[in-house]
Structure 1
Amino acid sequence: MLSVDLNSDIGEGFGAWHIGDNTDEQIMPLISSANVATGFHAGDPSTMYTTVELAGKHGVSVGAHPGYRDLLGFGRRHIHTSAHELVHDIIYQVGALREIAHAHGLTLQHVKPHGALYMHLANDQDAAGLFINHLHQLAPELMLYVMHGTRLHKLALEKCHPVICEFYADRDYDQSGSIVFTRKTGALDPEQVAKKVLRACRENQVTTVDHQEISVQFDSICIHSDTPGALKLVRVVRQTLEQAGIAIQAPNPMNIQ
């Protein structure tokens, strides 16, 4: 692997409140793609505006990070609703960020659902299918960040919609290749996380929570900005990859399926 995308969830405050122990200003220069919260699980119009402005300043590609309508639970609780209502909420959020990006002379690179919504779309056939159909109709060029091998991933490929598969640096994997979903993550050892990421880039292998070895296929590395110590995680992972000759850069649309 000569290069890889490094993405993080950005702009996940609300008004005067901020999530996590780091500022977007510190993380933004270290990543290549920013998943900007779009107001339902976190974020608000002014935060979205300043976050996109910050991304533009550092040459970071911008993506929409829509979530469940769940500010209280930070989008990490499953909301029982119809597939149509869910997709309408996503369209609303993506559209809002797209216009804010246009106000800065930028275009959206991608969309990445957040938290419990990400997991729901990964596994629910009806919701995933409806989402892909609408996304491909409205923005066929907008890359979709997904977990490799999920229903959403497969449906996107069938639709010939461009996808970016992710590797989760700060999450554990189970034997099926899925991440172990958690509402709260403790502090992690940056050196161990970087070692895990470098091995995944070189060997396409990761050790699961039950100490099994599985293969992983990905185009982008995700480090969540609300993980305790996220800034150091991002910094050490980037340094480790660059020292190994692996460049950090946003995906090239010409190379995406």
Structure 2
Amino acid sequence: MVWIDINCDMGESFGNWRMGNDEGVMPYITSANIAGGYHAGDPHVMRETVELAAEHGVEIGVHPGLPDKMGFGRRTMDASPEELRDYVVYQLGALMGFARRHGATVQHVKPHGAMYSMLSDSDEHARAVMEGMLEVDPDLIYLATDMNIYEVAQDVEGLQAVFEGYIDLDYRADRSLIVEKEVDERDPELVADRFVSIATEGVVEAENGEQIDVPADSICIHGDNPNAVEILEAIHDRLDEHDIQLASLPEVV
């Protein structure tokens, strides 16, 4: 039996602007990364997303970003390690408030966009954020998007970390992700094949055809993909056939 988590970035709507299909996706995942209000989200959307996660028994994590809604948190800022730590603690505290209201807890942290890139490029920034997490709650899990960050997390005393893989994005041979500006539909069966490959063998095919190691215990699905629900249905159809059991992050860490 293989145990694996499926996570999804959620709660990224704000005001009259809508992003993703949270209601359609939520029944198929085990962990929700909820925007903390800086790159996306607002108090009402945070509340609604926490309520939706609680209704479906999905574990909650914060998806903190840089304070840049116009750029959707994808533009690098000149921020010190201490400033990034404060940004994460601030957004984490906001989500914890909504979670507590609904009898839930926040289990993990997964930085978004340019913040994630800054942490990947700077061990000092990454360590500051991770140590800030532990100061808020020593049980929090860091969801690591690349191996650089994962290695830093393993060196932070007391921090639990889970490495995640991607199946609706393509990898380069160096394990970096190819992120397109426009999100297009993906072939559900092909994406489901990639899910099974990572879950059972820890490998996936890169854009050049090379098999690369992706030793992930959590797999991310993008909720803003136009056919995300169809992809998740195809994945769920493969679970029993390949003896795969979905589990939350605390169960796979």
Residue of structure 1 equivalent to 2:155: 158
1:49-128 matches, cutoff 5 A: 49-128=47-126
Count of residues in correspondence between the two structures = 252
One-letter identity of the residue aligned with 2:111: P
8 Å Cα contact 1:132/1:155 also seen in 2:
no
Report the Cα distance in structure 1 between the residues aligned to 2:204 and 2:215, rounded to whole angstroms: 10
Report the Cα distance in structure 2 between the residues aligned to 1:124 and 1:212, rounded to whole angstroms: 28
What is the TM-score when the length of structure 2 is the normalising length?
0.94
Q: Deviations over 1:51-79 (max 9, x none)?
A: 10111111000000101111112122222
Q: Tell me the secondary structure at the aligned position of residue 177 of structure 2.
A: coil
1:1-257 matches, cutoff 5 A: 2-20=2-20, 23-150=21-148, 152-159=149-156, 160-252=158-250, 256=253
8 Å Cα contact 2:120/2:146 also seen in 1:
no
What is the TM-score when the length of structure 1 is the normalising length?
0.92
8 Å Cα contact 1:9/1:225 also seen in 2:
yes
1:40 Cα deviation (Å)? 0.8
Report the Cα distance in structure 1 between the residues aligned to 2:53 and 2:152, rounded to whole angstroms: 30
Runs of 4+ in 1 over 6 A off after TM superposition: none
8 Å Cα contact 1:112/1:145 also seen in 2:
yes
One-letter identity of the residue aligned with 1:33: S
Identity of aligned residues (%): 38
Q: Tell me the secondary structure at the aligned position of residue 252 of structure 1.
A: helix
Unaligned runs of 5+ in 2: none
Q: Deviations over 1:112-145 (max 9, x none)?
A: 1112212221221221121122222222110110
Report the Cα distance in structure 2 between the residues aligned to 1:40 and 1:251, rounded to whole angstroms: 24
Report the Cα distance in structure 2 between the residues aligned to 1:122 and 1:242, rounded to whole angstroms: 36
Unaligned runs of 5+ in 1: none
Report the Cα distance in structure 2 between the residues aligned to 1:84 and 1:114, rounded to whole angstroms: 17
1:231 Cα deviation (Å)? 1.8
Note the aligned Cα RMSD (angstroms): 1.6
